[in-house]
Chains A and B, each alone.
Chain A
Amino acid sequence: MIGVIYKREILDHLKSAKFLIGFCLTLAIAVAATVINVQDYGRRLQDYRAAQRDLPANKFDIQIFRPPEVLSVLVQGKDRTLGNKASVNYMNIPDRLTGYMSERSTPRPKSLSGFGSVDFAFLVRVVLSLLVIFLAYDAVAEEKQSGTLKLALANALPRSSLLIGKAAAGLTVVLGSLLAAAAVAVLIMMVHPAVDLSGADAARILSLVAASALYLTVFYMLSLLVSAAVKRPATALMVLLQLWIFLVVVYPNLGVSIAENFYKLPTDREMAEKKVAAFAPYGDELKKVQAAYFGGDRSQPTGMRYFELQSLRSRLWNDVDRELSLRLSGQLERARWISILSPAALFNRVVERYARTDIEEYDRFLASVERYWKTKYMDFQVLFYKDLPAYRKAATPPFEHPAEGTSEAWAATAPQIVVLALLALIFFAAASTAFLRKDVR
């Protein structure tokens, strides 16, 4: 019996004008956004490769470049905005990445026109979730209004079967659209010469699509609930749109806004004072050594001490910088906690993680830079004072940034996935209850 309902419902959906409009819009956005983003990725990758090849480097001042992330084509996240270069020398452990132009120009203007960007994640978060609402709002309410609900249930058809059949059919149509959009986007990516997808990338794309499916399921179940609870389809649609505006537009932004304004961060001045205080015990010695060094004392112990003191200063300053970085992570955490019940915020966090375009990936990269500085780079620089011929002969140690394993990303996103799944379950359970108790006359 469920099978019959399932088929009938799917046919109904596919024939409807709203599905056609929504589906065409989805495909159009998927194609346009991916084509634009993949070209942008190609340009950034070209720059990165050229930078690694051409930009002058010496053994003392080492330039580390961050490659653009291939999955940023699908989920832009922070990838384009946070810079791509770190200058490493013994006087400085970078706490932020800059653009190729270093401090001379700001990384990349946050947005050129005062607006954001469109990608696959946007398509799912906004467009497809809206389409879900339009496909599902009349699932029960419409049949009730037109009187067919009574007739359908007059057959030997349990209410639960009807609801499950409807839900399964609606979800099939929605997830079918999602898969079509994802397939189109991935195809466009694969055709582009700059894109080279690895096995791990494929696993991440699949996870990304699965998370999208879960997110859309939450909205589908919510729509089903409202449709079962409300008498008229027009009312159901209005209620759902209000909920959508709240959950997708207002709530996530409000969370960030509160965290932005009510989370205490140290000021620039306090940071500067902390840095001065951290190095104060060595200040006099540095002045003395510096004076000796520039006074012409180029002996090995003086040079070595001068080097040691300067690198110690960068370590101490780095500790202060890290404190700020942790505070900023705390601020982000606060925003996330406030928005914990917003499917849109949860979804964003999960897909950015899968696409390696979230702030955690940026922090991981900076941690790699710091590790490089503290181990390989410093070991190498010490040679200059201990064994100059060996230093001259040795090649600059290579920088390494191990890629995050896919299983780690899964583990990290498990809580969000669980919350999303719980939301879907709760909405479905509530929808079933509402429908079972519904007066179908």
Chain B
Amino acid sequence: MRTIIFREIREYIQSLQFVVLLLFSVVLFSANGIVFARKFQAENAAYSAAAAQFAPNTQYLFLTRQPSPLLFLAEGGDLDRPASYDMKAKGYISASAPRPRDYKLPDIPKLDWSFIVKTVFSLYVVLLGYAAVSGEREQGTLRLVLSNPVGRVRFLIGKYLAILAAAFIPLAVGCVISLGILGVSLPQILTWGLASRVLALLALSAAYLSLFAFLSLLVSSVMRRSSLALLCLLTAWVLFAVLIPDTSGILAEKFAKVQSDYDAAKSIGPMIEKEVWAKIGALQGRIDKGELKTEEAVKAEADKAFEDGQEKVRFFEKGYEDALAARASLARSLARVSPVALFQYAAEDLAGSGVDREEAFREDLRAYSREFDAYVLKKMGKLVGQSNWSFSTWVMLNGKEIEIRSPQAEAYRGGMSDFPRFVERAPRLADGVKGAAGDIAGLLLWNIVLAMLAFAAFLKADVR
């Protein structure tokens, strides 16, 4: 058994695939370390600057998201999400600057560990394993090997372990390089927490690459010619790594009945018209009828109409955003048909990035928004919901022209040493593991099924 493994490993290490993989691994993981170290430094500098400038204010707040040092493991769309938010009373939270800023560049996958493993390593496992059985059969060596007292099961296990080992050597080298670069430029991130996440991700990678090894062995046992086996494997790889995940987004758009961007935009105009402008327009009539007698009453009514209207719009927008999130989640569910997506989402969970992280951050923001509201209410005695649109108009009251304007939140003049601070919950590994459990189970299931099929195919294979 050991002889087989060592013989195979030696053979793989001498192969072209292995050398190139090692080369790619060194290049890509170095790039990974350099790129993410720079990104984190830049983001962290911006974050610290913003945090230093934070000033208590009862009108509006400018909040910056704490950059995660773990993005080099799995970026999960994090860098394309807004880095800062404006907050105003009554739960108004909006992204300050659209991202990505360098929108002219082509959209390319971020060079995180999960991408390198997901794409490059899975491809090379296929390239290492496609000829495992069919190649030996073509050369006639399969017969010779099996004429020795070596069981077929042992032979296949030997091959399997050798493929995995040949893929794991470059992976280990790459990871060490990446961690080395990150450790030199950002020594503060090297913690035990990071170590456990790295180990978890490596274990996940093992489970992921193992399924491609089984797939290669399966196809290699079934197909008579190696080149055909390789073609089938590459087809499967394109299907799993590109076609299924890439069409899931657009399919989800078709199946999830969400209003289009345009339809949503269209419903807001009439909503504001009906809830705000109609009511404000009716003020003059109500004054003439004698319903509103004082200037205060008129202004209070205008404020109320404006704020109620905004509340409705905000409620509508929230519903729309929730529907979009549900659609995105449907897209992810559809993509889970492919093991590549299972790996990607599990890696994001383990790295504490991705949509779960985003959701947790938004929860924190909402919780803080409630604290902020309570504080403003305590200091100012009232909450004024501010929006990014405003109005000013005139009405006649008792022969006098009075101006009505959109309500404005006011600044508190006194001391604000008790102003609540925004604190983000740090992502916990335990939550990540819990979130990833389903996807990991899916990967294991793929492994079991493919392993059974591979062994069944090889045991029944004609080795001549």
Contact = CB atoms under 8 A, between A and B. Distances in A.
Contact of A110 (B17, B27, B77, B344): B77
Nearest to A256: B108
B176 interface: no
A118 interface: yes
A109 B104 contact: no
B227 A257 contact: no
B127 A241 contact: yes
B341 interface: yes
A265 B334 CA distance: 38
Contacts of A36: 247, 250-251, 254
Contact of B120 (A249, A252, A265): A249
A100 B265 contact: yes
A99 B242 contact: no
Interface stretch (B4-12, B159-167, B323-331, B448-456): B323-331
A123 to B, nearest CB: 10
A55 B341 contact: no
A109 B228 contact: no
Interface stretch (B256-264, B300-308, B439-447): B256-264
Contact of A50 (B99, B111, B245, B262): B262
B261 A108 contact: yes
Interface stretch (A315-323, A324-332, A377-385): A324-332
B364 interface: no
A241 B230 CA distance: 11
B463 interface: no
Contacts of A22: 231
Contacts of B127: 238, 241
Interface in B220-276: 226-228, 230-232, 234-235, 238, 242-243, 245-254, 260-266, 268-269
A332 B101 CA distance: 12
B248 A113 contact: yes
A328 B102 contact: yes
Contacts, number: 207
A81 interface: yes
Interface stretch (A126-134, A207-215, A368-376, A400-408): A126-134
A113 B320 contact: no
B6 to A, nearest CB: 22
B296 interface: no
Interface residues of B, number: 85
A234 B335 contact: no
A116 B35 contact: no
A106 B266 contact: no
Residue of A114, A116, A250 with most chain B CB atoms under a 10 A cut-off: A114
Given A18-B227, A22-B231, A130-B234, A348 B106 contact: yes
Interface in B1-55: 15-17, 20, 24, 27-28, 31, 34-35, 38-39, 46
B103 interface: yes
A260 interface: yes
B231 A134 contact: yes
A113 B332 contact: yes
B321 interface: yes
Interface stretch (B90-98, B209-217, B428-436): B90-98
Contacts of A47: 260-263
A81 B98 contact: no
Contact of A113 (B39, B227, B228, B245): B245
B71 to A, nearest CB: 13
A432 B325 CA distance: 57
Contact of B327 (A37, A107, A112, A115): A112
A113 B335 CA distance: 7
A253 B327 contact: no
B80 interface: yes
B226 A96 contact: no
B450 to A, nearest CB: 20
B320 to A, nearest CB: 7
Interface in B38-97: 38-39, 46, 76-77, 80, 82, 94-95, 97
A14 interface: no
B282 interface: no
A56 interface: yes
A127 B235 CA distance: 9
Contact of A118 (B99, B227, B243): B243
B377 to A, nearest CB: 26
Given A18-B227, A110-B77, A113-B332, A234 B266 contact: no
Contacts of B332: 113-114
B84 to A, nearest CB: 9
A27 interface: no
A29 interface: yes
A104 interface: yes
B262 A100 contact: yes
A257 B19 CA distance: 24
A259 interface: yes
Interface of A: 17-18, 21-22, 25, 29, 32-33, 36-37, 39-40, 43, 47-48, 50-51, 54-56, 81-82, 96, 99-118, 122, 126-127, 130, 134, 137-138, 233-235, 237-239, 241-242, 245-246, 249-250, 252-254, 256-257, 259-261, 265, 267-268, 328-329, 331-332, 335, 348, 359
5 contacts: A47-B262, A47-B263, A114-B245, A130-B234, A328-B103
Interface of B: 15-17, 20, 24, 27-28, 31, 34-35, 38-39, 46, 76-77, 80, 82, 94-95, 97-109, 111, 119-120, 123, 127, 131, 135, 226-228, 230-232, 234-235, 238, 242-243, 245-254, 260-266, 268-269, 317, 320-321, 324, 327-328, 331-332, 334-335, 341, 344-345, 348, 354, 388
